[in-house]
Amino acid sequence: MNVLVLLLALVIMIAVVAGCVILQEGQRRLPVQYAKRMVGNKMYGGQSTFIPLRVNTAGVIPIIFASSVLLFPYTIAGFFKSDLAQTVQKAFSPSSPVYIVLYVAMIIFFSFFYTAVVFKPEDVSTNMKKNGGFILGIRPGKPTSDYIEKVMGRITLGGAVALAVIAVVPTIMTGLMNINTFYFGGTAVIIVVGVALDTVHQIEGQLLMRHYEGILKRRGGKAGGLLKL
């Protein structure tokens, strides 16, 4: 391989990995205010928090669905030897322009579809209303659910386009640069980055728990010493 081609490929790889990290960790935070209420003789509420809306709620699911649907006619056409079957195989091969265009369109479609299945703005709005919470400047109830759905649609569109770019760029890179010495796929990168980030978050959670346990033990020892005195 040419040195310049190799350097350009490494830069693209680093950019794709960085894009995967940003896509997996990116979120839009909607500010939520909880009203104060009296329960018995105690005052509850009055806290400010936020609703984290993930940019890539669907994860790697849209890529898996899109590739599975597009590879189905390619696989079926492989059982026949006619000219039509060969044309279908050529059109639906992973390196063809038709496949790339359909691949991007289906990734965006499945991103919206999966997000609509797993995320319900009505449920979020109902739970907020029951607990006395509201988004600043938005009335509780249906206006809140409509606002959350509107914001979620915007960030899902951006996340779906970014996911499609990350999935397609490695394929285009290997095709234009004629790289055959190694494989670099967007789907594999997204899966590996997602697993690595999840592992990092679990390690951070365990370290935080141990830190709090140590603080509680030290406070317990001091309290026991005061009681003895």
pLDDT the model gives residue 179: 66
Instruction: Tell me what the pLDDT averaged over the chain comes to.
Output: 81
Distance CA 23, CA 20 (A): 5
Taking a C-beta distance cutoff of 8 angstroms, is the pair 56, 28 a contact? no
Token pair recorded at residue 138 = 């938005």
| Cβ contacts of 131-138, under 8 Å, gap ≥ 24 | 131/34, 132/34, 132/35, 132/37, 132/45, 133/32, 133/33, 133/34, 133/35, 133/49, 134/32, 134/33, 134/35, 135/30, 135/31, 135/32, 135/33, 135/51, 136/31, 136/32, 136/33
Question: Over pLDDT 70: what percentage of the chain?
Answer: 83
pLDDT the model gives residue 217: 63
Q: What pTM did the predictor assign?
A: 0.76
Low-confidence ranges of the chain (pLDDT < 70): 1, 36-46, 175, 178-184, 213-229
197: amino acid identity, one letter: L
Question: pLDDT digit string (tens) for 154-204?
Answer: 999 999 999 888 888 877 777 677 666 556 677 788 888 888 888 888 898
Contacts of 171 (CB under 8 A, 6+ apart): 94, 95, 100, 185, 186
